[in-house]
Amino acid sequence: MTSDVIDTRPWPRAMRAGLHGGMVLLVATFLFPFFWMVSNALRTDAEIFAVPPRLLPDSWEWGNFSAAWSYLPFGQFFLNSMLVAAAITAIVLVVSSLAAYAFARLRFPGNGGLFLLYLATLMVPQAVIVIPLFLMMSAIGWVDTYQALIIPMAFSSFGTFLLRQFFLTIPRELEEAALIDGATRLRILLTVFVPLARPALGLLALFTFTGQWNSFLWPLIVINGPEHATIPLGLTLFQGQQGIEWNYMMAGATISMLPGFLLTVLLHRFIFKGIAIGSGLGGR
Amino acid sequence: MPVVSRLAGIVAAVAAIAATGVAKAEPVKLTWLMWSGSEAEVEAWKHVAGLVTEEHPDITVEFQTTSFPDYWTKLPVLAASNQLPDIVSLQAQRAPGFVDLMTPLDDLIEADGFDIDAFDPSIVEGLSRDGERFAIPYDFGPLILYYNRDLFAQAGVPEPKPGWTEAAFNEAARALTTGDRFGFAVSIPDAFMTYALSTGAHYLDEDGELDLTSQGMVDAFKRYAELVSTEKVAPLMPSSGTQSSSMAAARFTSGNVAMHVNGPWQMINIKGKSGFTVGVAPVPAGAAGSISVSAGSGFGISASSPNQEAAWKAIKVMTGPKAEQYLAEQGRAFPARTAQQSFWYDKAAEGVVGAREGIPAAIATARPYATTPAWASVSALFEQYAPVAFAGSESPEEVLETIQALSDQ
Amino acid sequence: MAQQIARPSLGHPRVLDRARARPAVESYSPTRSDPWTALWFLLPSLLGLILFLVVPLVASLVLSFTNWQIIGQARFVGFSNYVNLTTRDPIFWQVVANTVLFTVEYLLLNIGIALGLAVWISRLSWGKRFFRLAFFLPTFMPMVGIALVWQLMLTPRGLVDGVIALTGLGLPNVLAESTLALQALVLLTLWSHVGYNLMLFGAALESIPESYLDAAAIDGASGWQNFWLIKLPMISPSLFFGTVLTAITTLQAFDQVYALTRGGPGSSTATLGYAIYNQGFVTYKMGYASALAWILFALIMLLTIMQLRLQRRWVHYDQ
């Protein structure tokens, strides 16, 4: 475990170098499975289980990527996943901000109890609610539609809890001034809390998007065919009754990581260049 | 599903069929749920659906799909919410759990003079319960032994052929096992069941209940497990998210196991991926002979479907000679219709040694893969627990007792 | 969006003691109580929750008292699912033990490692983004892909075996060994999920005002004091959130078990989440699975309420 290295009293240089060296090694180990994934995506199927294992492919099968792409309607899956994950993220951001503000700042009877109820809904194992949920969807005729993928999944309390934690740390003087000026609560939320909570909102967007991007059980139950299928569902189609396309699966998994990767690069600034709360140093 | 309404449905369907030619049919849109594993496979099934419309312009079949493992999660959920498609695909060994959802087909077959004898009898039986048929098969196959000819030649071991004994198999497995390579790959439960049947053991009792703890089964499992635990002629493959039969196939095509047991439906995959010459033979003969289980799949009509008559028409086309020939040539299915099997040998098994002799020999002695309604769970338990015996951490007997106890719960 | 806010400068870490004396949620500003505003703010999420979570949850409670097998009719069987589970099911207690063991071990490791890495990264003068991204990378990967990569690495005579053979340790086949398989699962879960808390704690650390740390430095606080007296209290709300959420999701662990081990060898890696899926979707005993789910639900509830009680002792809001 690392300890906190502080500038005013530097550790002996050797120790610091050792620590950093260890960390770099850790990161390299951590990234190894990705190397293995890409390396396997570029092999012939027969090489995947070669004994002894080889670090690099014998023949670089770059064609696997395009083959995987055409093996299934991958483009369609991609668009579906994008649409669903983005829509859910948008709804979650709005709905959670409102609820989190109420829990963090408004006085109403039963605040604590209601919050516990919100928390309780996070404790429900998905496997048991999918069937009642599916019955509901079929009753309103939503089976095999985008809205069935989006709407029921857009009300997780995860965001409410995350933002509430963040809102609670926002100094109260900030809104008191605005209240005295006669601003409405909604206005305070939009002009004071949302800008201050940018890191938390960024995190929430990132977590929701990646979580939904990889969601599997619900799409499996509610979607009937390639038309509305999402990527994780699509990837399972590489495992047929007629064997597994290991190399295509690896290629497909590699491709499917790109949007999340790009989103993180984009959101990184947003999350980590947040306003230092209560510091008197405004953000940009 | 009340019997009365079921009967009413059949009567109506039969009456409707009798009245065809008199009334002009309304256009019908049928739904059909089927598993698939690639775009090529999806295209093949869509082609089959298209054949229906070609034959009956008033019927269109909408193809819905999931991957094979997920199909069995989805089907009961659809059943629970009364959303079953008109046409349901069923695999024989998993069918018993779903029979109650299906329309019995005997009366339709009868009324139509449909020639059910054109299909292999073992798979027709596999898709029946108590003599009543609930699906028409499109493919089937006895489990067979796939072997790597190049490795056999290298090791100077005689190749397997019909009549091959367990003793010869053991010898070959030992001879083919080298530092980096194994002679054989075990897989469970299907391949093990053929092994057990060949020794003369039975995994179901007279009433068709699961019975894993008879002396015969224990002995068979002990011998099977020893291939991994003490003989070390087969790799120890832990239970994982991948079925053991797929794992065995992957290691076989990579050339690091010389033999494994699988169905003919894997032929196109194995042949396509192997960088060596593939041979096939019936499973080795034990004390009771070479006895394989014959597994396969077919299409049935869901009892809740409002389009019984159109669905029956569609299924007749989907399992008809034209469709069977197409599926055989594509390598998608070893046809359940005996007349169309030659197309499969010509195309799918082209260049595979022993296919034309080995597979018919295996068919001749194969038994329908009899299972229990909770077979999916038995299968999962085998995948989970058998490796414990393979690793030698528990005796094979204890493992079978555990599987039996958990299945009986 | 510049918000220039004047704050009393803090000359000493001890300033935080003031905050410590305050209870957390009850410390509202003396504004008017406005239940109506609160209702409007809560309405969208409440409607969604009730429709898509509470109703199905109640339905599953009802189901847990039936013998519903998905196909066919359900009959009420009273408490017999619960009785069978706890007294006759041969593996139920093993599954509970696996779940608790897995959760406790994983939770400690996850929070410790995520916090350690976050602190380390926040102090780097370069490459922050690269390291955060590196550790967050696995979260973009669908579980089915993760499982296949790990299967390939852990396969007998595969890569990990090869590396172990080189070191001469001679470990057995990892996934075929009961104790090791659960550890492999912990490792895989850490690898695939530690990035979430790392991001969370990283963002919290990043938002600590420099002035606090500068003030402490002037006072001659050591690195450790800095960490214990300033950083830890300042990020405690995020730490609390991370701990509660990680506990909740880990107790429900299913994906990784399903994808990597299917509960094997034997039932050594079967968790409650996996058992629920298995009973519900493999053996189709939905009634039984619902009973299992409610036992799990009760377990999570218990743990979370405990954590909520404890938070007053160590979580600091709004200094």
Question: Does A90 contact C at CB distance below 8 Å?
Answer: no
- Predicted confidence at residue A281, as pLDDT, reads 32
Contacts of C151 in chain B (CB under 8 A): 240-242
**Are the beta carbons of C211 and A30 separated by less than 8 Å?**
no
* List of chains touching A (3+ CB pairs within 8 A): B, C
Q: What is the mean pLDDT of chain B?
A: 90
**Cβ C274 vs Cβ C254: under 8 Å:** yes
pLDDT, position B278: 95
Instruction: Name the pairing type of β-strands A239-240 and B28-35.
Output: unpaired
Of B265, B266, B268, B270, whose CA–CA distance to B253 is shortest? B270
- Quick check: A228 and A146 in contact, CB under 8 A? yes
Q: Is A243 on the interface with B (CB under 8 A)?
A: yes
Query: Inter-chain contact B38–A48, Cβ cutoff 8 Å?
Result: no
Considering only A46-50, B164-168, B337-341, B362-366, which range has the smallest mean pLDDT? A46-50
Average pLDDT over residues A189-215: 92
**E strand or H helix at B60, and its extent?**
strand B59-66
Return the pLDDT at C318.
61
The pLDDT value recorded for residue B328 is 95
Chains near C with 3+ CB pairs less than 8 A apart are: A, B
Q: Which of B273, B297, B334 would best serve as a mutation to test chain A binding (most A beta carbons within 10 A)?
A: B273
Angle at alpha carbon of residue C59, lines to C56 and C63, rounded to 5°: 135
Do residues B295 and B370 lie in contact, with contact meaning Cβ atoms separated by under 8 Å?
Answer: no
Q: How confident is the model at residue C172 (pLDDT cuts 50, 70, 90)?
A: low
Closest of C311, C228, C231 to residue C22, by C-alpha: C311
Q: Please give the residue of chain A at the shortest CA–CA distance from C299.
A: A123
A141–chain B Cβ distance below 8 A for any pair: no
- Taking Cα atoms as reference points, which of A35, A39, A41, A87 lies closest to residue A235? A41
Q: Which residue of A has its CA nearest to B70?
A: A220
C-beta of residue A240 within 8 angstroms of C-beta of residue B41: yes
Look at A209-213, A275-279, B156-160, C231-235 and tell me which has the smallest mean pLDDT. Answer: A275-279
Confidence of residue C32 (pLDDT cuts 50, 70, 90): low
- DSSP code of B335? B
Cβ–Cβ below 8 Å for A165 and C2: no
pLDDT band per the 50, 70, 90 thresholds, residue C9 = very low
For residue B151, name the pLDDT band (cuts at 50, 70, 90): very high
Residue A11 token pair: 């550790």
Give the span between the Cα atoms of C26 and C23, in whole angstroms: 6
CA distance to A135, B6, B178, C253, per residue, from C194 (Å): 35, 55, 41, 14
Confidence of residue A241 (pLDDT cuts 50, 70, 90): low
Q: What is the dihedral of CA B207, B208, B210, B214, to 10 degrees?
A: 60
* Distant-in-sequence, close-in-space partners of C242: CB < 8 Å, separation ≥ 6: C111, C114, C196, C197, C200, C201
Residue B174 to chain A, least CA–CA distance (Å): 18
Q: Is the pLDDT of residue C24 over 50?
A: no
Question: Which range has the worst mean pLDDT, B287-291, B336-340, C255-259?
Answer: C255-259
Whether the per-residue pLDDT at B284 is higher than 60: the answer is yes
Q: Where are the alpha helices (DSSP H) in B189-295?
A: 190-198, 215-229, 244-253, 267-273
Could you tell me which of C142, C118, C301 has the C-alpha nearest to residue C196?
C118
For position A33, what pLDDT does the model report?
93
DSSP bridge partners of B146:
B260, B280
User: Which neighbouring-strand residues pair with A244?
Assistant: A239
C-alpha C34: how far from chain center: 34
B355 three-state secondary structure: helix
Strand B278-281 with B59-66, pairing: unpaired
What is residue C29's predicted lDDT score, i.e. its pLDDT? 46
Judged by CB atoms closer than 8 Å, whether chains meet at B80 and A241 is answered as: no
CB contact under 8 A, A125 and C144: no
Chain C residues whose C-beta sits inside 8 Å of any chain B C-beta: 70-72, 84, 88-91, 144, 147-148, 151, 155-157, 172-178, 181, 258-267, 270, 278, 281-284
Name C66's bridge partners: C76
Angle between helices A198-213 and A74-105 (to 10 degrees): 140
| Mean local confidence (pLDDT), C76-82 | 93
pLDDT reported for residue B358: 95
* Strand, helix or coil for residue B24: coil
Beta bridge partners of C248: none
pLDDT of residue B11: 45
CA–CA dist B317, B69 (Å, integer) = 26
Which of C7, C10, C22, C53 to mutate against chain A (most A CBs within 10 Å)?
C53
% residues pLDDT > 70 (chain B): 94
Chain B residues with CB-CB distance to A51 below 8 A:
180-181, 254, 256
Instruction: Please give the pLDDT value at position C25.
Output: 41
| pLDDT score recorded for residue B20 | 46
**What are the tens digits of pLDDT across the range B3-47?**
444 444 444 444 444 444 444 557 999 999 999 877 778 889 999
B248 to B191, B195, B390, C151, C175: CA distances (angstroms): 11, 16, 15, 14, 16
**Mean of per-residue pLDDT scores for chain C:** 83
Residue with tokens 């020794």: B199
Q: Which of B319, B311, B309 is nearest to B86 (CA)?
A: B311
Contact C71 B405 (CB under 8 A): no
pLDDT tens sequence across A121-134: 888 888 788 888 98
Output the pLDDT for position C33: 62
Closest chain C C-alpha to A226 CA, distance in angstroms = 18
- In chain C, % of residues over pLDDT 70: 87
| pTM of model > 0.95 | no
Residue A67: its pLDDT value, please?
84
Tell me the nearest-neighbour CA distance from A71 into chain B, angstroms. 5
- Confidence band (pLDDT; 50, 70, 90) for C22? very low
A127, amino acid identity: A
Residue to substitute from A47, A165, A190, A220, interface C, most C β-carbons within 10 A: A165
What does the pLDDT average to over A186-203?
91
Judge whether C184 and C154 are in contact, CB under 8 Å: yes
Kindly determine whether residue B35 and residue A241, on different chains, have CB atoms separated by under 8 Å: yes
Q: The tokens 């224990």 sit on which residue?
A: B218
Residue A60 has pLDDT above 90, yes or no: no
What residues in A contact C55, CB-CB < 8 Å?
132, 136
Chain B within 8 Å of A245 (Cβ-Cβ)? yes
pLDDT digits (tens, 9 = 90+) for B189-236: 999 999 999 999 999 999 999 999 999 999 999 999 999 999 999 999
Residue B296 DSSP label: E
**C71/B101 touch (CB, cutoff 8 Å), yes or no:** yes
Question: How much is the average pLDDT of C94-118?
Answer: 95
More confident call, C213 vs A154 = A154
Dihedral (CA of B349, B352, B357, B360) sign: negative
Q: What is the pLDDT of residue C171?
A: 63
B254/A47 Cβ within 8 A: yes
From the CB of residue B53, how many other CB atoms can be counted at a distance below 10 Å? 14
**Which strand (E) or helix (H) includes residue B257?**
strand B257-262
Give the closest of A151, A169, A196 to C318, CB-based.
A169
Instruction: Say yes or no: C38 contacts chain A, CB-CB below 8 A.
Output: yes
Alpha-carbon gap, residue C74 to B215, rounded angstroms: 38
A280/C contact by beta carbon, under 8 A: yes
Lowest model confidence (mean pLDDT) among A69-78, A140-149, A210-219, B15-24: B15-24
Return d(Cα B109, Cα B300) in angstroms, integer: 12
Q: Does residue B252 come out as left (phi exceeding 0), alpha (psi in the -120 to 50 range) or beta?
A: alpha
| Interface A-B: count of C-beta contacts within 8 A | 111
Smallest Cβ distance to B250: which of A71, A73, A246?
A246
Q: How far is A162 from chain C (nearest CA, A)?
A: 7
**Do the chains contact at A214 and C153, CB–CB below 8 Å?**
no
Classify strands B132-133 and B136-142 as parallel, antiparallel or unpaired: unpaired
Judge whether B233 and B173 are in contact, CB under 8 Å: yes
Task: Name the DSSP letter for residue B130.
Answer: T
Q: What is the pLDDT of residue A182?
A: 84
Nearest to B251 among A49, A73, A225 (CB): A49
Q: Is B334 helix (H, G, I), strand (E, B) or coil?
A: coil
Which residues from C are below 8 Å from A230, CB to CB?
none
Whether residue A59 lies within 8 A of chain B, CB to CB, comes out as no
Taking an 8 Å cut-off on Cβ atoms, the answer to whether A210 and C155 are in contact is no
For residue C56, give the nearest of A33, A133, A246 by CB distance.
A133
Percent of chain A with pLDDT over 90: 35
Amino acid B315: pLDDT = 97
Q: What is the pLDDT of residues C265-282, one digit of tens each?
A: 999 999 999 999 999 888
Question: In whole numbers, what is the pLDDT of chain A averaged over residues?
Answer: 84
Task: Say what the pLDDT of residue C216 is.
Answer: 79
Sign of the alpha-carbon dihedral angle for B108, B114, B117, B120: negative
SS3 of chain C: CCCCCCCCCCCCHHHHHHHHHCCCCCCCCCCCCCHHHHHHHHHHHHHHHHHHHHHHHHHHHHHCCECCCCCCCCCECCCHHHHHHHHHCCCHHHHHHHHHHHHHHHHHHHHHHHHHHHHHHHCCCCCHHHHHHHHHHHHHCCHHHHHHHHHHHHCCCCHHHHHHHHHCCCCCCHHHCHHHHHHHHHHHHHHHHHHHHHHHHHHHHHCCCHHHHHHHHHCCCCHHHHHHHHHHHHHHHHHHHHHHHHHHHHHCCCHHHHHHCCCCCCCCCCCHHHHHHHHHHHCCCHHHHHHHHHHHHHHHHHHHHHHHHHHHHHCCCCC
Determine how β-strand B293-301 pairs with β-strand B136-142.
antiparallel
pLDDT of residue B304: 93
Q: Is residue B353 classed as helix, strand or coil in its secondary structure?
A: strand
Contact C3/A151, CB-based, under 8 Å?
no
Query: Contact B293/B190 with Cβ under 8 angstroms?
Result: yes
Contact A248, A67 (CB under 8 A): yes
Provide the percentage of residues in chain B whose pLDDT is more than 90. 73
Give the H/E segment covering residue B65.
strand B59-66
The answer to whether the CB of B182 falls within 8 A of the CB of B256 is yes
Please report where in the chains the tokens 């002979």 appear, as a residue: B289
- Contacts of residue B367, defined as CB under 8 A and 6 or more positions apart, other chains included, come to B122, B197, B291, B292, B293, B294
Q: Would an 8 Å CB–CB cutoff place B249 in contact with chain A?
A: yes
Element housing B185 (H / E): strand B182-185
Among the listed residues B115, B112, B135, the one whose alpha carbon sits nearest the alpha carbon of residue B16: B112
Q: Which two tokens stand for residue A66?
A: 């395009």
